[in-house]
Structure 1
Amino acid sequence: MNKIVEFIFLFSLIASVLAACGNNETDGEQKEITIGYFPNINHVAGMVAEEKNLYAETLPDGTKVNYQYFPDGSAFMTALETGEIEGGLVGPGPAMNHFVSGAKVNIVAAGSTGGTVIMARNNAGIETPDDLAGKTFISPRVGCTHDVQFEAQMKEEYNLTSDRVNGEMKHVTGKPATYHSMFTSGKIDAATVPEPWASVIEAEGSGEVLIDTSEVAWGESLPAAVFVTSQDLTKNNPELVQHIVDGHKKATEFIQENPEEAKTIAIDKINEITDQKLSKSVIDNAWKRIDFTYNIEADVLQDFSNASYDLAFLKEKPDLKGLVDKSFIE
């Protein structure tokens, strides 16, 4: 009988060890997460959270936090939908476009507002937005936040559209960190630019501001970055989502209370990711165009998404009901 009892005990012990090794959760707690963001100044909350290890203060003890950096919103959203990351910062354009296409995602906080600037290359013959007819402009991605802001304004105020819809402006895409060199080489004439790359162009003297942030469509009200996670997490593991959002809120509050240290973190992190060292003066200039906040307004997103539909980036008129979940920041 003693041998039987010993056998049962040993079998149970082995089974429990195997169960613990077979997944990333213990007693319902996920022990490893990955957060994503871009090397843009609108995403400084991600950089600060990583550098100051702020998620360790809000997640259960022992949770490992990894970080992944993305070049554009499409790559980020694909990683989120496939479970490669648990959440992070992305532009509202990709988040909304994927949502209306059927992706099960939630925006649970904002990351920042502002920071989009329309720049014109020196000697491109562009004095006013009317001069953009026949010119080549660049954005990070087709239908990204900055692209929609630019094209919506051009259509509404200047009756100009891109060649994507048989319009007068030629559209190309590329990484914002390369825009200065593309201005210098003459490959592009204008750009819809997220900071700090607009300030880089200004500092290097390859282009000038055509439309500043305050005058760009939804320039100061539209989130430049939103914090996104999956509906699977918000529904089935709201405690984890709350821990993550609390860490994001700590990072945002740190930026608000310690702007100079946050700027240093941004300079170092952008250099690490892009191998481009930005000057303090560039960051100072870019900082003036951005408001770091985690508050989010669904009405602004719906208005922006309607414009995306009007520009034919979306095939159906969007209904964003269910996209924004403010319960984690209230």
Structure 2
Amino acid sequence: MRVGAALAALAITTLVAACGSTGGTAASGGSAAEVRLGYFPNITHSTALVGVEKGLYAKHLGSGVKLTTSTFNAGPAAIEAVFSGAIDATYIGPNPAINAWAKSKGKAINIIAGAASGGVYLVVKPEINSVEDLKGKKIATPQLGNTQDVALRYWLNEKGLKTDTKGGGDVHIVPQENSQTLQTFATGDIDGAWVPEPFASRLVLESKGKILQDERELWPNKQFVITHLIVRQEWAKAHPDLVKKLLEAHVEATKYLNDDPAGAAETVNKAIEKLTQKPLKPEVLASAFKNITFTNDPIASSLTGSADHAIKVGLLQPVDLNGIYDLKPLNEVLAATGQQSISDK
């Protein structure tokens, strides 16, 4: 989920060049009888977790198509897999998609559906009661330039507080892995963190943190994209039938998540346990699940907003996102199930 980090950008640029010049099955999308799907073992990727665990992708793809899944822990790794032709589609956060689009000059990926909105908070120590109280404090984010890092820097900037990429300024931002943040917050080495679920709920429930800012409150209609589904353009153009079948499963998974939240939460936790050997505690699962909205809408306006925020805080060069969405296949699937079409604006 990195935006503008030099090493990631260099790796991606190299991979784009390689992808554009490589022949054979990787460049052409592999066999038409296989779909290679990526996702994270994370509650914000519940659409994918449900789709795999409940066999929805397998059902819609049919017995003649093999589903191969890969899990990732960070956006840059997933994007590298897309660019190298190792996977055909992946669930991912907004800033990796922006970065991929920018580095490939709009030639590598398209966003074809939304997946999740919300579920991001600034959690702080109990004695911190206002933005002003953050001066001189250490606040963690998952990664320099990632979606939450950009959100925090922009929010602080709007409040008149300065930051820099080296941890200086009025508020000292400390990029670190979410698992490390759980430890450093508990030990008092940091004063708060801008993090996604389930880490926000864990900071509150396990370390007596309190929510200072719900990111939903900063967006129109309290909605912003945290996860969406992207495809490799070359593969999608070669196999539109598989794209549509993939979306049929996606739409059914989204419906299940909304129609049966309790059952879906149990399914998601079972999937997380299989992938990580560590299921979420019941109270954390319940808290995190209710804080996320599962939706087919990619909330396009928030993607543009995220890009503008990253540009304003100096973590992204200006980029034209026109054409990044291809929602025609999704809207065909939605129409077939009697659901309203979704705009890319």
8 Å contact kept, 2:167–2:174: no
Q: 2:96 aligns with which of 91, 94, 97?
A: 94
Helix, strand or coil at the partner of 1:56: helix
**Residue 15 of structure 1 aligns with which residue?**
none
Amino acid at match of 1:95: A
**Residue 325 of structure 2 aligns with which residue?**
324
- 1:114 matches 2:115: no
How far apart are 1:192 and its partner, in Å?
1.1
8 Å contact kept, 1:72–1:140: no
Separation in 2, partners of 1:198, 1:213: 12
**Residue 105 of structure 1 aligns with which residue?**
109
How far apart are 1:183 and its partner, in Å?
0.9
Q: 1:260 to 1:70 in 2, by over 3 A?
A: same
Pairwise mapping of residues 132-171 of structure 1 onto structure 2 (< 5 A)? 132-164=134-166, 167-171=169-173
Pairwise mapping of residues 190-201 of structure 1 onto structure 2 (< 5 A)? 190-201=192-203
Q: Deviations over 1:4-56 (max 9, x none)?
A: xxxxxxxxxxxxxxxxxx969xxx96222221112221110111011011111
How far apart are 1:268 and its partner, in Å?
2.1
TM-score, normalised to structure 2's length?
0.81
Greater C-alpha radius of gyration: 1
Q: 1:238 to 1:164 in 2, by over 3 A?
A: farther
How far apart are 1:149 and its partner, in Å?
1.7
Number of aligned residues: 303
- 1:312 matches 2:314: yes
Pairwise mapping of residues 38-57 of structure 1 onto structure 2 (< 5 A)? 38-57=40-59
Q: Deviations over 1:185-209 (max 9, x none)?
A: 2332221111111111111134221
How far apart are 1:300 and its partner, in Å?
2.5
**Residue 186 of structure 2 aligns with which residue?**
184
TM-score, normalised to structure 1's length?
0.84
How far apart are 1:216 and its partner, in Å?
4.4
8 Å contact kept, 2:167–2:173: no
8 Å contact kept, 2:163–2:173: no
Q: 1:299 to 1:213 in 2, by over 3 A?
A: closer
Separation in 2, partners of 1:200, 1:304: 25
Pairwise mapping of residues 226-305 of structure 1 onto structure 2 (< 5 A)? 226-305=228-307
How far apart are 1:160 and its partner, in Å?
3.0
Separation in 2, partners of 1:100, 1:219: 28
How far apart are 1:211 and its partner, in Å?
0.9
Helix, strand or coil at the partner of 1:137: strand
Helix, strand or coil at the partner of 2:140: strand
The worse-fitting range, judged by mean Cα deviation, of 159-168 and 84-93 is 159-168
8 Å contact kept, 2:216–2:224: no
How far apart are 1:134 and its partner, in Å?
2.5
Separation in 2, partners of 1:171, 1:142: 9
Separation in 1, partners of 2:257, 2:330: 17
Helix, strand or coil at the partner of 2:117: strand
| Ranges in structure 2 where 5+ consecutive residues have no aligned partner | 1-23, 332-345
**Residue 10 of structure 1 aligns with which residue?**
none
The alignment-based identity, stated in percent, is 30
Helix, strand or coil at the partner of 1:294: coil
CA RMSD of superposed structures (Å)? 2.3
Q: 1:128 to 1:65 in 2, by over 3 A?
A: same
8 Å contact kept, 1:296–1:326: no
Helix, strand or coil at the partner of 2:36: strand
8 Å contact kept, 1:149–1:218: no
8 Å contact kept, 1:117–1:216: no
8 Å contact kept, 2:131–2:159: no
Separation in 1, partners of 2:181, 2:151: 18
Q: Deviations over 1:197-249 (max 9, x none)?
A: 11111111342212124334569321110101111123232222112122111
